[in-house]
Amino acid sequence: MNSVALIHIGENLPSYIYDCIYQILLINNKGTKIYVCVDDINVPKVRCELQKFDLCTIIKNPLNITDVVQIVPLSILNDELTHDSYYNMYTNVLRTSAVYKDKNTFRGGFWISTTARFFYIKALMKVFNITNTFHIENDVIVYETFHNIFTNFCNQTNGHEKICAVKDSDNPPRIVPSILYFPNLQEMESLTKHISNTVRMFSNQNAFVNDMDILGLYENIHEFPLIPTTSQTFFDGAAIGQYLGGVDPNNTGSEKRYLDIYDNPTVGFINERSRFKPNSLQFSKSLVYIDSVNVPLKLITSNAPNDNKLHLVANLHVHSKQLYKFSSIFDINFSDIITGDRILHLCDFVISTKEIFAFHQNIDYFTRGFDMSKVIIVKDFSNINTSLLNSYFLTFSHISGKTNIKLFIYTHLLDSFIDHILPVLDKSLTYTLYTHNSDGAFTDAHLPILQNKVITHVYAQNVNSQPHHKLSALPIGIANAMWKHGNLLELYTVMKDTYKYKKENAVYVNINPNTYGYRKEVLDAINVTGAFKISQNKSYKDYLTELASHRFCLCLRGNGVDTHRFWESLYLGVIPIVINNSTTKCTSFLDHLKSIDIPFVELKGDDLNELFTLYNNTYFSPSYYKDFVNKLNTSIYNISSLKLSFYGEA
C-alpha cells in the first residue's frame, strides 16, 4: 500500500486540510494510508473532524476512518529529529543567521515550515518504517489514485529509485512541491543533506533560499508530466490551480471585498514564472465512474494541444485555499446559487412598475453590478408607447447581435403583459420570458404566452400548469438580498463547511402556522402523532447549520407552491419532503421539477394523522437516504439544475 503524508507545522491548522483529506478518501478509498502530522494541540480537533466525515452515503464499502488515517503528533517526530545531524545543521542556521530573523514572523514562520517539513517527512518514514510515500501540500486536491500515480510514473524511472516532483520553472529551476514522491529513507537522507547544505551555503552569502528553489537545485529528481502530451495524466505545480481558482482572496483588493471570499475576482490568473501557461488549454469537470463509489465523481480534465483526447489532471494546487470548489462531489460555486435578484441578471430587459422596483432593494448586493438601464418602468400598461418599447429591443439586438431577447416580468404582472405587451412585440425578434419574484403562479390562464410564436421559451416560478415544451420550472431559490434569510454569504459558508459531513438527524421540521392556513393542520398532526421533532426559530446561520445536519426536510407550500426552504435544503444536501394532496395541489409543480431532475420525496394523502403514522423519523433512516441519493446517480451538490446557469447565461 502507498502512503501519503500531510504536514502542518504550527498551532493554527487551516480548515481546508479537511477538504484535502476528504478528497483523498473519495479517490483512493482504502488504497492509501494517510498520515496527518500536526501539532499535538490539534490532534483531538483533527480526530473529531475526521469522525464527522460522511464515508458511507456514496462510498460502496463504508470506510472506518481509523483504518486509513493515522494522526501523528509532531512531538513524536521531533523526538526523532533531535538525533538527525542534517536537521540540527539546518536549525543551527536558522538560529544564527540574520537572514532568517524576519522569516520567523512572516505568516507564523511560513517559509521556515515549508522547508522544515522535509525533515519531518523523513522522520515519519523512519518512525513508521514506510516507503513509497507521497506528500501533497494541504491546499492540494487529488483526482488520481496514488496507486495509479506510482504505477504509471514513479515506477518508470529506468530502474533508479528517484524522488518525483513537478518542475514548474526552468530559469531559474524551481519545483513547486504540490505533489512529491519519496521512494525510501535513503533518498530522503540525500535530500535533507542537500537542503541543509544549500541553506547554509546561501546563508553564508547573506541570501535566503526557499523550498521551491532548494528542490529546483536538487539533481536526483524525476519529473511528473507538467503538460498533457503522450501521457493520459498530467500534474499541477501551481499554474493550473491559480488559473482555475485564482489567488488567495486575502491578497485581492476589489471593490466588493465581502464577495471576494467566495466569488474570487482573480480566476484566470496566469503565473508568469511557470513554464506552462494553462490558458492554452480548455479545462472541464468531467463525470467519471470509479470503482469505490456508487455515483460518478467530477474530475478536472483537459485536452492536449492538437489532441482531441481528454487528459486527467492528477492534482490541483489550489492557491486560493478554496478547495471545496474543486471537490469531486461539491460542484456548486457561490455564483451558482439561484435567487430572484440573480435571475434579473440573466435577462436583457426587466419590465416593472415604479412601485415594484422601489420595493425590490439591494438587487446587486451579492453580484458584481446590475445595469439599471435595462429596467423598463411601465406607468400604465393600457397606454404603452409600443414604438418606443420595441425600439429598445431592436437597438439592443443591433448592438449585441442577438435576435432572441430575454425579458423578465414579475409574475403578478403576467396578465397585464398578456393583454398589453405580448400582442405588440416586434415580430422580427423572438423572446425568452422569465417570470419570478412573486407569490403568483404561472397557470393554464397564461397559456397564450406559450402559444405565441414570438415566445421561444418561458422559465416560470411557481409553475402550476400543464406540461408544455416551451415551459420550464424556474426555482424560487434563496430569498433576495433585501431579506435576512437572503444572506448568501451565510448560506455558502454553511454549504462549504458541511458538504463532507454525515447527516446525523432524520427530518427537519420548523413550521410557521401563520403564513398559510394548512400549515397549522400539519403542525397539529405532527404533534398528535409524534412523527417528528419540531425545531425552534434561530438566527439564519444557526438555522442553516441545523438544517444541514438532517437527511430530509419537510417543505410545506406557502402562498406559492414553491418555497425557499425547498432550495435551502437541496443546497445543503438535504432531500425536501413535499405533501401533495387536495389542499396543497402541487402535482403540476412537482411534475415540472421532475422534468429538470430535482429530487424530492412526495407524500400523498389527505389524512395527515395516517400520513405521519407511516412516514416518520424511523422511516427516513440513513439507509433510505443512502438509497435515495445513489438512485440519483449523482451527488446532490452536482445536480446541474441547482445552478443559475442551467436556466440561461447572463
In a domain, 355, yes or no: yes
Q: How confident is residue 326, by pLDDT bands cut at 50, 70 and 90?
A: very high
In a domain, 132, yes or no: yes
For residue 160, how far is the Cα from the chain centroid? 40
Mean pLDDT, all residues of the chain? 93
d(CA 650, CA 645): 8
Average pLDDT (411-432) is 97
Decide: 122 and 116 in contact? Cβ < 8 Å. Answer: no
Closest CA to 264 of 318, 317, 316: 318
pLDDT above 70 as % of the chain: 96
Q: How confident is residue 356, by pLDDT bands cut at 50, 70 and 90?
A: very high
Average pLDDT (130-138) is 97
Q: Is the pLDDT score of 106 beyond 70?
A: no
Decide: 226 and 179 in contact? Cβ < 8 Å. Answer: no
In a domain, 177, yes or no: yes
Decide: 478 and 339 in contact? Cβ < 8 Å. Answer: yes
Domains contained in the chain, number: 3
d(CA 331, CA 329): 6
Q: Is the pLDDT score of 472 beyond 90?
A: yes
pLDDT tens digit sequence for 440-467: 999 999 999 999 999 999 999 999 999 9
Same domain, 319 and 261: yes
In a domain, 461, yes or no: yes
Same domain, 438 and 569: no
In this predicted structure, what is the pLDDT of residue 173?
Answer: 84
Q: Is the pLDDT score of 236 beyond 90?
A: yes
Decide: 175 and 165 in contact? Cβ < 8 Å. Answer: yes
Q: Which residue has the higher pLDDT, 580 or 304?
A: 580
Cross-strand bridge partners of residue 312: 233, 301
In a domain, 53, yes or no: yes
pLDDT tens digit sequence for 1-60: 899 999 999 999 999 999 999 999 999 999 999 999 999 999 999 999 999 999 999 998
Integer-rounded Cα radius of gyration of the chain: 28
Q: Which residues contact 482 (CB under 8 A, 6 or more apart)?
A: 360, 361, 362
Same domain, 349 and 496: no
Q: How confident is residue 363, by pLDDT bands cut at 50, 70 and 90?
A: confident
DSSP designation for 153: I
By residue range, what is the domain housing residue 553? 487-647
Q: Classify 597 as helix, strand or coil.
A: coil
In the block, which residue shows the cell 410564436?
Answer: 453
Whole-prediction pTM value? 0.94
Same domain, 27 and 156: yes
d(CA 544, CA 233): 39
Same domain, 159 and 264: yes
Q: Is the pLDDT score of 159 beyond 80?
A: no
Q: Is the pLDDT score of 300 beyond 70?
A: yes
Average pLDDT (174-199) is 95
Same domain, 110 and 162: yes
Q: How confident is residue 168, by pLDDT bands cut at 50, 70 and 90?
A: confident
Q: Tell me which of 109-113, 115-119, 296-300, 423-427 is least confident.
A: 109-113
In this predicted structure, what is the pLDDT of residue 141?
Answer: 99
Q: Single out the residue in 446, 473, 500 at which a domain terminates.
A: 473
Q: How confident is residue 253, by pLDDT bands cut at 50, 70 and 90?
A: low
Q: Is the pLDDT score of 170 beyond 70?
A: no
Same domain, 431 and 524: no
In this predicted structure, what is the pLDDT of residue 376?
Answer: 95
Q: Up-side HSE of residue 604: CA atoms within 13 Å toward CB? A: 3
Average pLDDT (551-561) is 94
Q: Single out the residue in 473, 496, 515 at which a domain terminates.
A: 473
In this predicted structure, what is the pLDDT of residue 310?
Answer: 87
pLDDT above 90 as % of the chain: 80
Helices 488-498 and 564-571: crossing angle in degrees, nearest 10, is: 40
Decide: 227 and 243 in contact? Cβ < 8 Å. Answer: no
In this predicted structure, what is the pLDDT of residue 155?
Answer: 77
In a domain, 528, yes or no: yes
Q: Is the pLDDT score of 255 beyond 60?
A: no
Domain with 142 in it: what CATH number?
Answer: 3.90.550
Same domain, 466 and 552: no
Domain with 600 in it: what CATH number?
Answer: 3.40.50
Type of residue found at 49: E
Q: Is the pLDDT score of 496 beyond 70?
A: yes
Q: Is the pLDDT score of 279 beyond 60?
A: yes
pLDDT tens digit sequence for 501-512: 999 999 999 998
Closest CA to 312 of 142, 139, 182, 180: 142
d(CA 115, CA 217): 14
Decide: 143 and 315 in contact? Cβ < 8 Å. Answer: yes
Closest CA to 499 of 343, 632, 323, 378: 323
In this predicted structure, what is the pLDDT of residue 274?
Answer: 82
What are the backbone dihedrals phi and psi of residue 330, each rounded to the nearest 5 degrees, phi first? -135, 80
In this predicted structure, what is the pLDDT of residue 650?
Answer: 64
Same domain, 362 and 229: no
Q: What angle do CA 617, 620, 622 make, to 5 degrees?
A: 115
In this predicted structure, what is the pLDDT of residue 396?
Answer: 96
SS3 assignment for 407-434: EEEEHHHHHHHHHHHHHHCCCCCEEEEE
Q: Is the pLDDT score of 100 beyond 90?
A: no
pLDDT tens digit sequence for 371-392: 888 999 999 999 999 999 999 9
pLDDT tens digit sequence for 55-75: 999 998 888 999 999 999 999
Pairing of β 297-303 and β 69-73 = unpaired
d(CA 92, CA 79): 17
In this predicted structure, what is the pLDDT of residue 151?
Answer: 92
Q: Single out the residue in 326, 359, 381 at which a domain terminates.
A: 326
In this predicted structure, what is the pLDDT of residue 158?
Answer: 63
Same domain, 201 and 223: yes
Q: Is the pLDDT score of 597 beyond 70?
A: yes
Q: How confident is residue 308, by pLDDT bands cut at 50, 70 and 90?
A: confident
In a domain, 335, yes or no: no
In this predicted structure, what is the pLDDT of residue 256?
Answer: 60
In a domain, 131, yes or no: yes
Q: How confident is residue 258, by pLDDT bands cut at 50, 70 and 90?
A: confident
Same domain, 14 and 72: yes
Same domain, 401 and 534: no
